Amino acid sequence: GQQVMQIPQYQHVQEGEDFTTYCNSSTTLSNIQWYKQRPGGHPVFLIQLVKSGEVKKQKRLTFQFGEAKKNSSLHITATQTTDVGTYFCAGVTQGGSEKLVFGKGTKLTVNP
Amino acid sequence: GAGVSQTPSNKVTEKGKYVELRCDPISGHTALYWYRQSLGQGPEFLIYFQGTGAADDSGLPNDRFFAVRPEGSVSTLKIQRTERGDSAVYLCASSPSGGRGEKLFFGSGTQLSVL
């Protein structure tokens, strides 16, 4: 079945440093979504990427979708303490059901 | 409602008991999803409803798990003969029409603890 893998599992940075998490799918995706889950909270939608090679920016966050639509990345520039949480990618398989399959997430901690 | 509502927020039960978890989606959302999240893991897909029918139940781990959505709004996830391994946060999410790539709106989850 479809698998979505994320690395790293954990990342600890000093405030002001950059952070990147990578997502890889075993199947070609029709789209990929990114969610953020704060400690004790529930996943909250950040963004969706649909097109091959697409790049989207939200303030200090940059999201990329690979040319083959099997991988994606999230990059945060100059992390802040408010960026703390777990970042999940989630994909929908091209030609499959509409179910969204999540990766295991990357837990980001930021040292002030 | 303003958001996806899940009740109870916490449920403690004994091994072998039956539990029901309720999800009230955002008003007007036709698609409803159940996920299970263990500590340190990502949400694991269980089942997806489009209206009253289960469009994809491939994530239900075994026949002890069953979910219904009889009127196309509120859904109940039912777990029979609970086991300690069922302990997790059960998340419900909804989306407006369930189309490919719609963002999901998650509830706060039900923390299930099986003793």
Per-residue model confidence as pLDDT tens digits over A74-102: 999 999 999 999 999 999 888 777 789 99
The answer to whether the Cβ–Cβ distance between B55 and A98 falls below 8 Å is: yes
Q: What is the mean pLDDT of each run of 10 residues along chain A (112 residues)?
A: 90 97 94 96 96 97 97 98 97 83 96 94
How close are the terminal C-alpha atoms of chain B, in Å? 33
Chain A CB contacts of B108 below 8 Å: 41-42
Instruction: Please give the distance of CA B94 from its chain centroid, rounded to a whole number.
Output: 10
pLDDT at B1: 52
Nearest-Cα distance to chain B for A73, in Å, is 17
Size of interface A-B (CB pairs under 8 A): 66
The answer to whether the Cβ–Cβ distance between B45 and A99 falls below 8 Å is: yes
Chain A residue at shortest CA distance from B107: A42
Chain B residue at shortest CA distance from A101: B45
Parallel, antiparallel, or unpaired for β A10-14 and A106-111?
A: parallel
Rounded to whole angstroms, how far apart are CA atoms A112 and B83? 42
pLDDT in tens, B7-64: 999 999 999 999 999 999 999 999 999 999 999 999 999 999 999 999 899 999 999 9
Cα-based angle A63, B59, A26 (whole degrees, multiple of 5): 45
pLDDT at A93: 84
Cβ–Cβ < 8 Å for A75, A84: no
A48/B contact by beta carbon, under 8 A: yes
pLDDT at A37: 97
Chain B residue at shortest CA distance from A1: B58
